[in-house]
Amino acid sequence: MPRVMAISLNRLKASREVESVDLPNCHLIKGIEAGSEDIDILPNGLAFFSAGLKFPGLHSFAPDKPGGILMMDLKEEKPRARELRISRGFDLASFNPHGISTFIDNDDTVYLFVVNHPEFKNTVEIFKFEEAENSLLHLKTVKHELLPSVNDITAVGPAHFYATNDHYFSDPFLKYLETYLNLHWANVVYYSPNEVKVVAEGFDSANGINISPDNKYIYVADVLAHEIHVLEKHPNMNLTQLKVLELDTLVDNLSIDPSSGDIWVGCHPNGQKLFVYDPNNPPSSEVLRIQNILSEKPTVTTVYANNGSVLQGSSVASVYDGKLLIGTLYHRALYCEL
């Protein structure tokens, strides 16, 4: 497919094979069959999953089923994933969720931000989580010319967020050219109701984004450059780059352990297998834990790796109280006791 033809084999790590790193207490999560691209966990142990992402040229195990948001209570003895109801008036048929982020307001209201690609367009949907009803109340759809190809978001207020654009263009052919020419025009945008601005640029393909527990730093994964960028956040919400951590894998979504500040990364060891799907040689999975990213020598540990026999195309890894959730671009999801 064109997307792969446009990307050099080195950027895709096309020759890389993964050596298994197993965790002893893991099982696949029932009810997640067609992707769990992003996961965000509230302090009370409620985990949100973005499920069913579809993209031109990307494999799907449920091409005709709309996406949805699932929830799992990690405080339960045997947690199960349940789909959340979404309020009337929201177009469920075209719901195509990608990156997600939660924000808890001073009055304990929980907001869920969802990158959405209805008919492959780009919006950010803001919902209020109604815990008593296990439902989401749709509040607002955000569209903006500075959000042409949104991948992920990290919420910093009730209608305020940082978002990554994995491409500068929204048009498929121009995206292809941009990738082929390796323009490094992908960026990070700050959005608020009264100000929208580009706050970081020069990425090959900006992907996962998250914020440190002390709210001082923004972390951005550049998937095709195999890097994590550390950016300092300023009072005016602008960002300046502090450092870049280079890795040997395609880094997708970033999750933060709120207790330690460690970064947990869902990675694609071999991007070619991800884009050119072969059931006999499926995409592998890899989870990295990064400790002390601000130090001279951060510690990078491979916590889990699988050749695709169990889990294909890991895109996110999130931890809560000794439990690890691993989501995928279009496959299953794994629940592990650490």
- pLDDT per residue rounded down to tens, the chain (338 residues): 345 556 778 889 988 999 899 999 999 999 999 999 999 999 999 999 999 999 888 999 999 999 999 999 999 999 999 999 999 999 999 999 999 999 999 999 999 999 999 999 999 999 999 999 999 999 999 999 999 999 999 999 999 999 999 999 999 899 989 988 989 999 999 999 999 999 999 999 999 999 999 999 999 999 999 999 999 999 999 999 999 999 999 999 999 999 999 999 999 999 999 989 999 999 999 999 999 999 999 999 999 999 999 999 999 999 999 999 999 999 999 999 99
List the catalytic residue out of 98, 117, 229, 331. 98
List, edge to edge, every strand of the sheet that includes 150-157: 150-157, 160-165, 186-192, 195-203
Identify the pLDDT of residue 319.
98
pTM across the whole model: 0.96
Annotated binding-site residue? 187: no
CATH of the domain at 275: 2.120.10.30
Q: According to the annotation, is 107 in a ligand binding site? A: no
- pLDDT of 1: 36
Please give the pLDDT value at position 2.
Answer: 41
252 annotated to bind ligand: yes
Residue 64 marked in a binding site = no
Please check if 293 is assigned to a binding site. Answer: no
Tell whether residue 222 is among the known ligand binding residues: no
List all residues 6 or more positions away from 159 whose beta carbon is below 8 Å from its beta carbon. 126, 140, 192, 193
Query: Any alpha helices (H) in 236-279, and if so which ranges?
Result: 271-275
Q: Is 38 annotated as a binding residue?
A: yes
The number of folded domains in the chain is 1
Structural domain harbouring 191: 1-337
Check residue 56 and give its pLDDT. 83
Say if residue 248 carries a ligand binding annotation.
Answer: no
- For residue 252, how far is the Cα from the chain centroid? 6
DSSP state for residue 29 in the 8-state scheme:
P
Residue 98 known to be catalytic: yes
Could you give the CA distance from residue 130 to residue 158 in angstroms, rounded to a whole number?
15
pLDDT value at residue 180: 87
